[in-house]
């Protein structure tokens, strides 16, 4: 069961229905092993990033011991280190495989009592966290929004505000559309573990969508084994868009930076693709 809003049409109606056709379902649920090596590769970085997130939380009054939500937590690469820093973390992800791995990761770090991992869809976050107490902090990392369009993001941010304590902090980590367009490359590839993905990218300026063709291969000995082609399209945002979206859904933007350490956004710099927004619930 998942919530669905039809693209970015202003007349879209929020509803719940059964669906399995979206690329996120195909890639993260039906074939989670394809994206898994890329998550595993970022596990080490997750430790240092979680430390920076913990500093940000503390800076804005979210102390150790507070309840925080890691939305689209994947294999727990941020949730588990945050628990090690003393936070009680609820992680939500649509992939049963990733949630299972997150639980194992938590057990290996002896923070099972400080973590809770739930299989839940971004499009129906209300169902996933309806029984949870209000959160003092919320984290969404690694550009985990925009997959289902602006209307879904707006609805999700409203629900996150509803489930956040007054004055709670939302840290939103996404790619910066303005940087992406300045440094746009139509073709590229990425490799992690035994998985290779060839990327063919396009940008739809009318919808502010990246429209990508990802072709996956598994490396088996000297051979490349085809694993399918995925049309991966998602809404991307610049600083102005993110600020408007958050401030129209119950949040007040506190800062916009190029990373968790608060460095300024610079779309000319080759290494500044990230955009970290800190917002406070009104």
Would you tell me the crossing angle of helices 43-59 and 32-41 to the nearest 10 degrees? 70
Q: What is the pLDDT of residue 5?
A: 34
Q: Are 91 and 116 in contact (CB under 8 A)?
A: yes
Q: Are 113 and 152 in contact (CB under 8 A)?
A: no
- DSSP H helices, the chain, are 23-24, 32-41, 43-59, 79-84, 96-108, 125-129, 150-162, 177-182, 239-247
Q: What is the pTM of this model?
A: 0.92
Cα-based distances in Å from 242 to 24, 86, 131, 212: 22, 29, 28, 22
As a whole number, mean pLDDT of residues 223-244 equals 97
Q: Are 68 and 138 in contact (CB under 8 A)?
A: yes
Q: Look up residue 68 and give its two tokens.
A: 């925080």
pLDDT band, very low/low/confident/very high, at 9 (cuts 50, 70, 90): very low
pLDDT band, very low/low/confident/very high, at 13 (cuts 50, 70, 90): very low
As a whole number, mean pLDDT of residues 248-266 equals 97
Q: Is the pLDDT of residue 45 over 50?
A: yes
Burial label, 187 (beta-carbon count in 10 A; 0-12, 13-18, 19+): exposed
pLDDT band, very low/low/confident/very high, at 200 (cuts 50, 70, 90): very high
Strand positions, DSSP E, the chain = 2-4, 15-17, 67-71, 88-93, 115-119, 135-140, 164-175, 187-192, 195-204, 209-220, 223-235, 251-257, 274-281
Q: Is the pLDDT of residue 16 over 90?
A: no
Sign of CA dihedral 96, 102, 105, 109: negative
As a whole number, mean pLDDT of residues 93-114 equals 98
Residues 6+ apart with CB under 8 A from 232: 23, 27, 210, 212, 213, 214
Strands 251-257 and 274-281: antiparallel
Using alpha carbons, select from 138, 140, 79 the residue that is nearest to residue 112. Answer: 79
As a whole number, mean pLDDT of residues 30-55 equals 97
Q: What is the pLDDT of residue 82?
A: 98
């Amino acid at each position: 069961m998942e919530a669905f809003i039809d693209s970015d049409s202003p007349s879209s109606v929020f509803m719940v229905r059964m669906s399995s056709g979206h690329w996120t379902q195909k890639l993260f649920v039906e074939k989670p092993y394809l994206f898994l090596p890329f998550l595993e590769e970022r596990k080490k970085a997750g430790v240092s990033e979680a430390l920076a997130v913990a500093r940000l939380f503390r800076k804005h009054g979210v102390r150790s011991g507070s309840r925080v939500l890691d939305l689209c937590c994947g294999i727990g690469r941020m949730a588990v280190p945050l628990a090690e820093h003393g936070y009680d973390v609820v992680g939500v992800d649509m992939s049963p495989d990733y949630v299972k791995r997150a639980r194992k990761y938590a057990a290996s770090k002896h923070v099972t009592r400080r973590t809770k991992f739930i299989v839940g869809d971004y499009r129906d976050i209300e169902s996933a966290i309806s029984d949870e107490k209000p959160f003092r902090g919320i984290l969404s990392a690694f550009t985990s929004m925009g997959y289902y369009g602006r209307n879904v993001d707006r609805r999700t941010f409203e629900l996150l505000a509803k489930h956040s304590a007054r004055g709670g902090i939302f840290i939103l980590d996404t790619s910066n559309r303005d940087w992406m367009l300045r440094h746009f490359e139509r073709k590229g590839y990425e490799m992690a573990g035994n998985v290779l993905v060839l990327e063919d990218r396009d940008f739809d300026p009318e919808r502010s969508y990246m429209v990508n063709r990802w072709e996956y291969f598994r490396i088996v000995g000297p051979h490349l084994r085809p694993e399918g082609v995925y049309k991966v399209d998602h809404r991307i945002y610049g600083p102005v868009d993110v600020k408007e979206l958050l401030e129209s859904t119950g949040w007040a933007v506190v800062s916009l930076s190029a990373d968790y350490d608060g460095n300024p956004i610079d779309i000319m710099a080759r290494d500044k693709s990230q955009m970290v927004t800190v917002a406070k619930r009104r």
